[in-house]
Amino acid sequence: MNTLKNFVICLACLTIVFFSSTTFGQSYSTGVMTFTSGFTCEIQVNNDSNVVTMTLVGPANRWLGVAFDPSSAGMGSSGDDLVVYNNQGLQDRTMNGGFNSPSVDVENNWITDTDTTENGVRTLVVSRSRISSDNSDYTFPSAPQSITLLWAMGSSLNFGYHNSRGAFVATLSTGQYELTDFSMYPNPMKDELNLNFSQFLSSAEFTLFNNLGQQVMHQSFEGNNIKINTKPLPSGMYIMQLEGDGRQAIRRLIKE
């Protein structure tokens, strides 16, 4: 299972549509994508800074891999770009086609911003330039469009044949702009989360995901000032998703 010769990222594709995450369309995000139970990913493209940020959340004792816009949606093809986190750290790799192990790129253009582990779950935030200096690297789009991602997860941190893979297609809306005119406090939170909006929201949704990508709370609301009871939640990191009046916001929260 750990041999590099039999590595395959196969049958695991997720088609996503980037949606605008700022009022002026300068940034785009996939939102939090759940590849499989325990493995989530979010990709943000910032056109102002020309930086792509990717957040991977998965088991701390397994390698994680994501390939970008492969030539074929099954196993990928020679020359396709991917990034892998394993016991050697973060690696920029290139597929060699078939059952051949992807090669490690001479230059690793991804930078590890944060790498934290809590209760056996790794949260990895990495970034690189939208247009890489390496011609073999994928160029992320600067406007809303769909791309295909291949993903895989190993049985250990040793890079080799995948242990987990998925096969599903998902499409996200392209028409949601970021909800920015609000404040939230406290963060870290304990028993209550306050959300204050500068404008009245006639119809809005509050959704909370844990660090495994599982939905743990959902609430519909309207108004300017909202109080969310967070007392039943266990301590840890959460992803909050707000949707209201055709706009969306994604924030990270910590429960003490």
| The 3-state secondary structure of 170-221, one letter per residue | CCCCCCCEECCCEEEECCCECCEEEEEEEEEEEEEEEEEEECCCCEEEEEEE
Q: Check residue 136 and give its pLDDT.
A: 87
pLDDT at position 169 over 70 = no
113-136: buried (b, 16+ CB within 10 Å) or exposed (e) per residue? eeeeeeeebbbbbbbbbbebebeb
Which of 21-30, 94-103, 140-149 shows the highest mean pLDDT?
A: 94-103
Q: What is the pLDDT of residues 108-126, one digit of tens each?
A: 999 999 999 999 999 999 9
- Cα distance between the two ends of the chain: 39
Q: Check residue 129 and give its pLDDT.
A: 95
Q: What is the pLDDT of residues 201-252, one digit of tens each?
A: 888 899 998 877 788 999 999 999 999 999 999 998 888 888 887 677 878 8
How far is 212 from 121, CA to CA, in rounded Å?
A: 8
Give me the domains of the chain, ranges plus CATH numbers.
4-153 (2.60.40), 179-255 (2.60.40.3080)
Name the token pair of 42: 């979010």
- Looking at residues 123-151, what average pLDDT do you find? 86
Q: What is the pLDDT of residues 53-68, one digit of tens each?
A: 889 999 999 999 999 8
CA atoms within 13 A on the CB side of 47: 15
Answer left, alpha or beta for residue 35, where phi above 0 means left and psi between -120 and 50 means alpha. alpha
Q: Which residue is listed with tokens 């000032």? A: 225
| pTM summary value | 0.63
